[in-house]
Amino acid sequence: MNGKVFIIGLGLIGGSLAMAIRQAHESVHIVGYDVNENNIQLAKLLGIVDDSVDSIAEGVLEADLILLAVPVDQTEKIVIQLADMKLKDDVIVTDAGSTKSTVVEAAKHLMNRGITFIGGHPMAGSHKSGAGAAKPHLFENAFYLLTPSDNYHTKEINQLKEWLKGTRANFLVVSPHTHDWLTGVISHFPHIIAAGLVKQAQTYSEENELVARLAAGGFRDITRIASSSPEMWRDILLHNRDVLLDLMDDWIMEMAHIKELVANRDSGEIYRFFAEAKVFRDDMP
Ligand code: NAD
């Protein structure tokens, strides 16, 4: 595809998406903007972007695709600002944030102006950040969820998929709420549990330093994701609040149930608890 792409946020995700877009569309012109001057310089040096601009208003003027890859609270602020800026009528605006309902809600003003906004979430990443960590293959074979609001038709979604085809990701279209529920169940809530387990071990390690030394194998497997960025996970919890509150209620009930089984020495039901989990886990694709 020919045209101009404007990337706001030249970090791990923005940089990786820019590289993937260029791989599939050699003649594209990619312009970048970031609040961090070092990331702009690095992105230019690495050939991630062709050019940079000093403001968002300047970058959006001629863009055919605007891609926001900044923290979710910044994404919300920027999509609200975009509603008052001069944009091409047929531009597609998308983002890469890990939560979707609040961002799509913030984009309502933009959509009311007739501008296409399709939320996006490439479901791969790393604990690294910044343009220096960007890779064109980061999203290969990963799921890439697109969350249009109800108003959008397949034409714009297909155009966006065409722009992003260099990611070689598997695109799935879901509603913003379904996205937040799915990612709440399989990603956000497990991060809370992982961090909770680590914090519990930390407390007990004050009683006995062997706790940290013996925490190998299974404990390391289940808590690997507790090393992720605290800023990013704080934002995710604040932006997927309602879904996570519901999941916490369900979890507390699940824990109360297993607590009762243990207290009652209910060997049959305890076996069933693990056996059912094993069957579902073993059957996962
Ligand atoms: P990052 O820290 O590597 O990059 C974010 C960039 O945004 C930084 O360069 C920062 O300077 C810039 N930035 C912040 N506020 C800005 C603003 N107002 N205007 C312009 N630039 C601004 O982070 P990342 O991992 O690339 O995350 C970006 C987005 O992608 C987040 O919304 C995150 O939820 C989402 N995401 C992250 C992952 C992951 O694993 N890291 C995976 C999928 C989606």
**Are 123 and 185 found together in one domain?**
no
User: What local confidence, expressed as pLDDT, does residue 216 receive?
Assistant: 87
**Minimum mean pLDDT among 123-137, 154-168, 184-198, 246-260: which range?**
123-137
For residue 9, the CA-to-ligand 1 centroid distance in Å is 6
For residue 124, the CA-to-ligand 1 centroid distance in Å is 13
pLDDT band at 126, cuts 50/70/90? confident
Identify the three-state secondary structure at position 244: helix
Ligand 1, atom 9, lies closest to the CA of 11
- Is pLDDT at 106 greater than 90 in this prediction? yes
Condensed to tens digits (0 to 9), the pLDDT of residues 22-57 reads 999 999 999 999 999 999 999 999 999 999 999 999
For residue 70, the CA-to-ligand 1 centroid distance in Å is 4
**Are 48 and 118 found together in one domain?**
yes
Of 146, 174, 202, the last residue of a domain is 174
Residue 181 vs residues 13, 177, 184, 277: alpha-carbon distances, Å? 22, 6, 5, 20
Ligand 1, atom 1, lies closest to the CA of 11
**Are 20 and 132 found together in one domain?**
yes
Average of per-residue pLDDT values in the chain = 96
Write out residues with Cβ below 6 Å of ligand 1. Answer: 8-14, 33-36, 39, 69-72, 74, 96-98, 121-122, 125-126, 129-130, 232
- Is pLDDT at 1 greater than 90 in this prediction? no
If one counts the domains in the chain, the total is 2
**Are 148 and 188 found together in one domain?**
no
Of 107, 141, 174, the last residue of a domain is 174
Of 132, 153, 174, the last residue of a domain is 174
**Are 164 and 204 found together in one domain?**
no
Ligand 1, atom 20, lies closest to the CA of 34
For residue 76, the CA-to-ligand 1 centroid distance in Å is 13
For residue 16, the CA-to-ligand 1 centroid distance in Å is 11
**Are 8 and 110 found together in one domain?**
yes
Question: Which structural domain range is residue 199 located in?
Answer: 179-283
**Are 12 and 88 found together in one domain?**
yes
**Are 71 and 134 found together in one domain?**
yes
**Are 23 and 153 found together in one domain?**
yes
Question: What is the atom index within ligand 1 of the atom nearest the CA of 232?
Answer: 34
User: What local confidence, expressed as pLDDT, does residue 195 receive?
Assistant: 98
pLDDT band at 260, cuts 50/70/90? very high
- CA 35, 92, 184, 242 dihedral sign is positive
The candidate with the shortest Cα–Cα distance to 83, out of 74, 71, 73, 93, is: 93
Question: What token pair was written down for 3?
Answer: 């045209």
User: What local confidence, expressed as pLDDT, does residue 226 receive?
Assistant: 94
Question: What is the atom index within ligand 1 of the atom nearest the CA of 13?
Answer: 26
**Are 260 and 158 found together in one domain?**
no
**Are 158 and 239 found together in one domain?**
no
- Is pLDDT at 149 greater than 90 in this prediction? no
For residue 255, the CA-to-ligand 1 centroid distance in Å is 35
User: What local confidence, expressed as pLDDT, does residue 218 receive?
Assistant: 93
- Is pLDDT at 151 greater than 80 in this prediction? no
**Are 156 and 66 found together in one domain?**
yes
For residue 265, the CA-to-ligand 1 centroid distance in Å is 48
- Is pLDDT at 228 greater than 80 in this prediction? yes
Q: What percent of the chain has pLDDT over 90?
A: 93
Question: What is the atom index within ligand 1 of the atom nearest the CA of 33?
Answer: 20
For residue 217, the CA-to-ligand 1 centroid distance in Å is 32
Question: What is the atom index within ligand 1 of the atom nearest the CA of 72?
Answer: 32
Question: What is the atom index within ligand 1 of the atom nearest the CA of 124?
Answer: 42
Any idea what the CATH number is for the domain that residue 267 is in? Answer: 1.10.3660.10
Any idea what the CATH number is for the domain that residue 110 is in? Answer: 3.40.50.720
User: What local confidence, expressed as pLDDT, does residue 170 receive?
Assistant: 98
Give per-residue burial for 236-264: e unless 16+ CB within 10 Å, then b. Answer: bbebbeebbeebeeeeeeeeeeeeebeee
